[in-house]
Amino acid sequence: MKDIGRTTPFFDESFDIVICVGSVLNYVDAQLAIKELNRVTKKGGALVLEYETSNSYEFIFTDKYKESVTPIHTFYNGESEHLWLYSIDYINSILHSFNLLEKKSNSIHIISTLLLRSTSNPKLSSKLSKLDPFFQRVNILKRAL
């Protein structure tokens, strides 16, 4: 991959904690983004990543499921959009290449993604997402991700 250098105006090791949420990684080159996030995080600091993963039950039984890097066409708030999915293993390999350790990982959507996959009904899936916190505790469902 091409090294584009610094992409933010911040000095090296500017922050104790860097939080990247809102699936920002899914719209960019994950390796370059993590490199930049790591650069601005102080040694011993924390980097928090949230991203859409190909390990989601939404993609089970498709060619996208657990793919390292794959483009998808999806929707958000009723609008069509294109983004990249990354597998958990792929993101972890990038983290390890920068000597970053994964300390905690959590899948938020469990039953809602299964319902979306099986019913193709986003409204039903969204309504029943309130049950996700309960299903996050079901070990057999978490292990399959």
| pLDDT string in tens for the chain (145-residue length) | 344 457 788 999 999 999 998 778 899 999 999 999 999 999 999 999 989 899 988 898 999 999 999 999 887 777 888 999 999 999 999 999 999 977 766 666 766 777 777 787 778 777 777 777 776 676 666 555 5
Contacts of 104 (CB under 8 A, 6+ apart): none
Q: What is the pLDDT of residue 118?
A: 78
Inter-residue contact 34 to 95 (CB < 8 Å): yes
Among 54, 44, 29, 139, which Cα is nearest to 101's? Answer: 44
Output the six-digit token pair for 2. Answer: 């091409």
Q: What is the pLDDT of residue 54?
A: 94
CA gap 56, 92 in Å, rounded: 16
| Mean predicted lDDT score pLDDT of the chain | 83
CA gap 94, 35 in Å, rounded: 9
Q: What is the pLDDT of residues 100-141, one digit of tens each?
A: 977 766 666 766 777 777 787 778 777 777 777 776 676 666
Q: What is the pLDDT of residue 1?
A: 39
